[in-house]
A and B are shown apart, each in its own frame.
Chain A
Amino acid sequence: MSIINKLLNIDQRIIYAALFIALAYPILSPVMLPMDIQGYSQQAFDFSDSIPEGSIVIFEGGLGAATYPQGGPGMVVQIYHMLTKGVKIVFFSIGTEQNFWTVRAIETALGKLPPGTPAENGVDWVHLGYVAGGEAGVGSLVNDIRATITSDYYGTPIDDIPLLEGVNDASSFAAVLWWGGSEGSMPYGIRQISVPFGIPITGMSTTNEVPNFSPYISAGQLQGIFGGVRGSAEYEYLMRLPGPALGQAMATNFGGLLWMILVILGNVFYFIQRTRGEE
C-alpha cells in the first residue's frame, strides 16, 4: 500500500485526537487571531441598539446544555444590552431544558449589570418559564398570555406582575428577540409573532442553522442574526464586554484551519490516487 493510500485510510481516531489537540490548545493557551464583524451580526446589533428605551420586548430562550456554551455568552450580552438601555424583557422558553439555561443567562446578566441599573424581577423583566406546545404554544401565548399560563417561572400569578399590567398579547411588544440555538424554531417567531403582529425580529441560532435563516434576512423578515459562538463573540466585542465567547471563537478558528487542511489534503491525495489508477 502506497503512502497516499495509507493516508487516505488513516484511522479516524487519529483525526479525532488531532482535532482534540487543535481545539484544546487555544483554550489552554489563549491566542487572538484577527476577526471581522460579520454583516448579519452588525445588522442584529444595530437593530437591538435601535429598540427605544422603555419599550417591552419578548425574548425566547432556546439554548440547551449543548448550545449554551456558544450562544450563552451572546444571550447574556443581549440581556445586558436591553436592561442597560432601559428596555423591559418578557422571557419564555419552548423547551424544558432550555428553560433552565434561560434562567442561568438571566442570572449571569444581572450579575454583570453596572450598579444602579434598574433590573427588578416583575418590573424590568419577567420570565414566563416553559411554554409547552411548540409553535402552537407560541401562537397561543402571544395571542392570549393569561389563557396560556397562570404564573411566571417563580410562581408569581400573572395578574400580580406589574410589567404585564395591560399586556396580554404580542401587540404590546416592540421587538422579538429569538435565541433559538439549534431548535430551528426561529420561523415560529416569524410566523406567529413577527408577521401577524408586524413586529421586527432578530436573534441567534447555531452556526449550522444560519444558512437556513439567511433567506429571511434577505427578505427583511429577520433583522440580522448572531450565528453561533462567533456571533456571540462579535456581540461581546461590539458591546465592549469581553467574555468567554471571544476565546472560544479563536478555538473554532484553529479547528477550522485543521479541518480545511485535512479536506484539501484528502482531495489532493484522492486526485493523485485516481491519476495513478489506484483503487
Chain B
Amino acid sequence: MDAAVWGLLAGSAISLGAYSVLIGDNPISKLTENIYMGILGGYIFATNWDFIQKNAITKVAGGDYVYILSIILSIMLLGRLKSEYLWVSRYPVVLTVGVGLGLAMRTSVMADFLGQIQATLLPWTSLNNLVMVIGTVTAAAYFIFTAQSSGAYKYVNTAGRVFLLSAFGVTYGQTVSFRFELVIGRLVAMLDPRVANYTYVMILIIAVVLIFGYTTKRIVWYSGR
C-alpha cells in the first residue's frame, strides 16, 4: 500500500470521527478533534519556526543585526503564557496591529471606498445598472437611524430592507453551497475506489461502538433537537 492510500485512509478515519458529532457529542468525535488540533498545532509551529529560522536567525548570524529586534519582539509575545508577564506581550501585539492597520489604510481608501463609489455611479441605461444604483442608495439609506421612517422615506427604507434581505438570501444560499462542497470534498476522498471498502468498515465500527456506548449508557445520548 503506497503513502497516498495511507493518507486517504487516515483522512477517511479522521473525517468519519469528526462527522460522528452529528449523531451527538461522543468520545470518537472528541478523540479525532484532539488528534486534528494536535497535528495542526504541531505543523503550524514547525512551519513558523522554519520561517523565523530562515528569515531572521540566519540573517542575524550573517551580520544583519537589525533582525534581532524582530526576534526579541517574537520572544516578548510568549509573555502571554504567564499572566504576570502578559503586559510584555502587549508591545509586539500593538506594533503588529499598528503596522497592519497602517499598511491596510494606505490603499483601502482607494480599494474599498472610492472604487466602490465610482462603481455605483452608473448610467441608467440597463436594468442591471438601475438595480445597482437603487439598491446601493436605498440599502445605505436604511442605516440612517436618525431619520423617521414616515412619508416618502418609508418607501426608501422598505426598498433598502428588501435589497438587504435579498443580499442576505444570496449569501445564505452561497454558504449552504460552500458547506456542501466541504462535505463533498471529504466524500470524494473517503469514497475513492482504493479506500471505499475500508471507509464502509470504519462506518460500521463507529456505529457499533456508538450503539454499544449508548445502549450500555456509557455514552450519554445527545438530547437536543
Contacts and interface: CB of A to CB of B under 8 A. Distances in A.
A210 B174 contact: yes
Chain B: number of interface residues, binned into ranges:
35 or more
Contacts of A41: none
B162 interface: no
Contacts of A228: 177-178, 181
Chain A interface SS verdict (over half): helix
A150 B119 contact: no
Contacts, number: 153
B22 A16 contact: yes
Contacts of A206: 178, 181
B140 interface: no
Contact of B187 (A11, A207, A211, A251): A251
B174 A211 contact: yes
B145 interface: no
A149 interface: yes
A191 B119 contact: no
Interface string A141-158: 000000011110000000
Contacts of B188: 27, 69, 244, 247-248
Interface in B149-194: 167, 170-171, 174-178, 180-189, 191
Contacts of A139: 103
Contact of A218 (B43, B48, B103, B119): B119
Interface residues of A, number: 64
Contacts of A255: 177, 180, 183-184
A68 interface: yes
Given A191-B107, A206-B181, A215-B119, A132 B51 contact: yes
Given A11-B225, A148-B55, A196-B107, A218 B132 contact: yes
A19 B177 CA distance: 12
Contact of A256 (B43, B100, B180): B180
Contacts of B54: 149-151
A252 B103 contact: no
A150 B58 contact: yes
B178 A207 contact: yes
A187 B160 CA distance: 26
Interface in A174-210: 182, 187, 190-192, 194-196, 206-210
Contact of B118 (A20, A23, A219): A219
B82 interface: no
B184 A27 contact: yes
B177 A27 contact: no
A66 B182 contact: yes
Contacts of B106: 191, 196
Give the one of B104, B170, B186 with max A CB within 10 A.
B104
A192 B187 contact: no
Interface stretch (B84-92, B108-116, B212-220): B108-116
Interface in A1-33: 9, 11-13, 16, 19-20, 23-24, 27-28
A215 B132 CA distance: 10
25 contacts: A16-B22, A20-B183, A23-B180, A24-B187, A68-B185, A70-B181, A96-B47, A131-B51, A134-B100, A135-B103, A139-B103, A149-B55, A150-B54, A151-B54, A191-B104, A192-B107, A208-B175, A209-B178, A211-B171, A211-B174, A219-B116, A220-B119, A227-B174, A229-B185, A255-B184
Given A67-B185, A244-B188, 15 more contacts: A23-B183, A27-B187, A96-B43, A135-B100, A136-B103, A191-B103, A206-B181, A208-B178, A215-B116, A219-B118, A220-B119, A251-B187, A252-B181, A252-B184, A255-B180
